[in-house]
Structure 1
């Protein structure tokens, strides 16, 4: 009788331990998912200036903003605006 009771207790503890381990692994997966969202959001925001720098790094001769005095400041303002919009969008969706 004592052996059956001990066996039942051990099996109960084993199930409890397995459930706790599963819950912990699920929490770790959620935390990793949150980290990946943050990394992806920052990468998306860094891609905008990288794209603009790539276009200007091609040294085109006939870009309309090259002859305009406010061309580069306008591009910087637009680029900053896009990054701010992305930041707000990611913040609103809980990615940041």
Structure 2
């Protein structure tokens, strides 16, 4: 297995967002019944991407993007976001 953590490039942004939304949605649906709404709107992802100090990474295994992270280290809360593509967990 060839694993790489690489900076997210513009060409992968659309797929990155779709995969992240699917991962969050499937996770929520596994815990809550009758969930008829999207859990992670694209606007929330965009807000994370434009935060001061934000860096987005993609996780690549054998040439396939399998997840990623948007890292914004908040000095106070130490909060960041991470997702793994649904079906890869």
State TM-score, norm by structure 2. 0.26
Larger Rg: 1
The structure whose residues are more often strand, as a share, is 2
Q: Relative to total residues, which structure has the larger helix share, 1 or 2?
A: 1
Higher relative contact order (CA 8 A, sep 6+): 1
